[in-house]
Amino acid sequence: MTEVSKLVEVPPDAVFAVLADGWQYAGWVVGSSHIRDVDEDWPAVGSRIHHSVGPWPFHIQDVTVVKAVEPGSFLKLEARGWPLGAAEVGLTLAPHGEGRTRILMTERVVRGPGKVLPEPVQALVAKPRNNEALARLADLVTGKYANRKNAQP
């Protein structure tokens, strides 16, 4: 399993608010290029984001499915992109001092050609991609949280 983490200067509920907005998915998930639809009950277990992966015109249309959720602290997804495969992605949000969150992102290939590769080889691709995803998520969260705080009287 590949793990990366990032510390952000916002509380866990602010991070989870972005994760709970499926329409934001393409803004932080590296490779996701277009959101076609988000199930109304996202991020309930079994709900899906219908997305495209990759650059146009070579994109793949598939879904990401919620496998487990603990609102405000944890989200487990199965991200699909056939014929490339599917990965289980976990996002754990842990308070880290006053108004800060440590985001831990894990990834494990569960189906497809990548599953036959040894974990160190999988990590060569997954770690840089997931570090970039957390950097994008941090930017989205920080910007939204700052705007929310500034809007309050």
Which of 21, 1, 152 shows the shortest CA–CA distance to 88?
1
* Ranges of each domain in the chain: 2-148
Position 34: which residue type? H
Query: How large is the average pLDDT for residues 55-75?
Result: 92
Which of 26, 45, 28, 29 has the alpha carbon at shortest distance from 37? 26
Calculate what percentage of the chain has a pLDDT beyond 70: 95
| Higher pLDDT among residues 74 and 148, named by residue | 74
CA distance 131 to 28: 11
For residue 104, report the phi and psi dihedrals to the nearest 5 degrees.
-110, 125
Structurally, at CATH architecture level, domain 2-148 sits in 2-Layer Sandwich (3.30)
